[in-house]
Structure 1
Amino acid sequence: MKINVLTMAAFSVMLALGTSCNQKSEQDAKIKALEDKIAQLETGSPTVTPVNAQATTAADPATLGAFEFPEMEYDFGTINEGQVVEHLFTFTNNGQAPLVISNITASCGCTSPDWSKAPVKPGADGYVKVVFNSTSKSGAQAPTVSIQANTNPAVTRLRLKGTVTPKIAGAATPVGPVKR
């Protein structure tokens, strides 16, 4: 019985020593790899590739649409606070494939976009309608909309610009019917 206990104890000690040696050699290997990476960075060697880097390939032009906007910015001039400005940007697809707008986002809640939802065939026309609500806005304004589509570049921006004249402070606006 004592022999079995002694054998088990000796086996446990040997296992522990073997495991700690393996852990030490793994740590040494990791330290060496880190030292090598630091040395490469210090020498300016461009061969270090980040672990999370993704390979990119050039897009095939036959799979892309291409925007051609006559104008990419609309100046609405000077308006009074509370007025709503609406502008229709038109475009032609000069690409080799149907142009598909996947999403359009506005730079602020005061601007709302609408667009051609169906794919726009090569040579055909489409639209992006932008509505700007000047309520609670004053001074110079330049809201934008970002268009995501199967184009190169993948994001195109359109812009409205102008000036909003603030309401006069203290001026009462009539509520309800006005007697004349």
Structure 2
Amino acid sequence: MKKQILFSIALFTLIFTACEKKASAKINTTNIETAKERDAKLSLGAPIIEFDQKEYDFGTVTEGEKVQGVFKVTNSGKVDLIITSVKPSCGCTTPEYTKEAIAPGATGEIKFEFNSANRVGKQNKSITVKSNAEKNTEVIRLKGTVIAKS
């Protein structure tokens, strides 16, 4: 019985010692440095997205006209802002946007074209902007009136 107890103690000691050596041998110093860099960036906070305007009023246009405009986007945060998607509320609005990272303090654009064909009356369209900003979803709007062709 004593031999079994001594054998068990020796076996557990060997296993724990072997595990400790294997675990420390697996530490990759590159991963540690990468984690430190990531943590330093996280401590700066998230990017902050700001628009020069959140509503674009195109006034009154005649049916069939195409209205073009631009929303300016500024990154007020301390890390890069990345716009991940820009989706209009309907197929009558076509957006284009800055796809590259927007550095802190820099600006980008969301351009749009609204096609007023078959859209007579008051118009209120939205564009949903998703990004890596602190508030990751924003909605910007287009409004105006389309009068029928004579």
The Cα RMSD (Å) is 1.3
User: Does 2:77 correspond to 1:95?
Assistant: yes
Larger-Rg structure: 1
| TM-score for the superposition, normalised by structure 2 | 0.69
2:127 equivalent in structure 1: 145
Equivalent pairs: percent with the same residue?
39
Number of residue pairs aligned between Structure 1 and Structure 2: 109
Tell me, in whole angstroms, the C-alpha distance in 2 between the residues paired with 1:61 and 1:163.
Answer: 46
Q: Paired residue for 2:47, among 65, 76, 80?
A: 65
Q: Paired residue for 1:125, among 93, 107, 111?
A: 107
1:74 equivalent in structure 2: 56
1:112 equivalent in structure 2: 94
What SS does structure 2 have at the residue aligned with 1:85?
Answer: strand
1:163 equivalent in structure 2: 145
What SS does structure 2 have at the residue aligned with 1:143?
Answer: strand
Runs of at least 4 residues off by over 4 Å: none
2:68 equivalent in structure 1: 86
Structure 2: gaps spanning 5 or more residues: 1-41
What SS does structure 2 have at the residue aligned with 1:108?
Answer: coil
| TM-score for the superposition, normalised by structure 1 | 0.58
Indicate the structure with greater strand content: 2
> How big is the shift at 1:63?
4.9
> How big is the shift at 1:119?
0.3
